[in-house]
Amino acid sequence: MPLIDLIINTLSTWQKQLIQLTTTTDSSSLALLEQAALDLGKRVALLALEDQLKQLGTGYDSSSRPCICSQRQRFLRYSTRHLRSLCGPLSFRRAYYHCPHCGTGTAPMDARLGLSTRDITPGVERAATLLASHLPFAETEFVLQELTGVSLSGRQIETVAEAIGQQAEQLQQTEQQEASAQGLQQVSGPQQKPPKTFIVEMDGVQVGLQDGTFQEIKCGVIYELSQRVEINQQRWELLASRRLALRGEVGKFRQRLWANVLAMGVRQCDRVVVLGDGGEWIDQTAQLLFPGALRILDYYHAAERL
């Protein structure tokens, strides 16, 4: 059945269920209607997602394919993979290959779709990781279920968050290595844009760890001055910025800070302003990375010394 017909049938069924629900419960509250609308959206989204997967095919291209061991994997069978998605339970059929020499088995479609070995979609991985970066794993389990309808245990969320965190750390380390040999971009000629003012803020925060000890987390934020706007009287907000936080020695923090400075597009002709609390490591970082920058001691720490 074509996708549009499936959507029409789903909408018709939903309308009948909604009429029956509001009639039997004698309730037409906005909360009930809102949840029903969200459920319909998920049903339609799941139909569209399944249709897109069918159009992509199964990943079968021939009876054999190259293997990482330099031999050939042979087509073994078609297998169905079941995933938990933000739209609901998702299943799709894909080709599975196996290498008789090294024992490696792969489904090319999994790699094409960017799937991990976990039975959840990248969207669920992102949602769980984002929540886990702000909440304990047990609370993330509850909030994830409430917001998305996806049920993952606290232990599963911890595994996902740590794996995604390791990938992010590897990407940042690669960015740092590439930035270590680079300087600020030098632009000249008629295409050179007017100089901008960039603000670099640094600070250290004591954070309690699970073993009961405390350790300083070095934090930084970089933004272009025009991206700081007053949304209400005496209330400001950054429209765009680069933020970083690192638990470790100051040398690693400086490497990551420099990589973020380059990623922000700071040029040699731009003005850099460093804002800090007067900490020795902050002053040394400013002198090392931004020797020509204007350095400002924040008002609070200056005032308490007067």
The answer to whether residue 271 scores a pLDDT higher than 70 is yes
Q: For residue range 194-239, list pLDDT tens digits in order.
A: 899 999 999 999 988 878 899 999 999 999 999 999 888 888 899 9
How much is the average pLDDT of 138-163?
A: 95
Burial 32-60 (b: 16+ CB within 10 A, else e): eeeebeeebebbbebbebbeebeeeebbb
CA atoms within 13 A on the CB side of 288: 13
Mean per-residue pLDDT over the chain, rounded: 91
Task: Indicate the pTM of the whole model.
Answer: 0.75
What are 76-97's pLDDT values in tens digits?
999 999 999 999 999 999 999 9
Domain extent listing, the chain: 1-56, 197-303
pLDDT in tens, 95-104: 999 999 999 9
The CATH code belonging to domain 197-303 is 3.30.420
CB 260 within 8 A of CB 220: yes
* Distance of alpha carbon 182 from alpha carbon 257, whole angstroms: 13
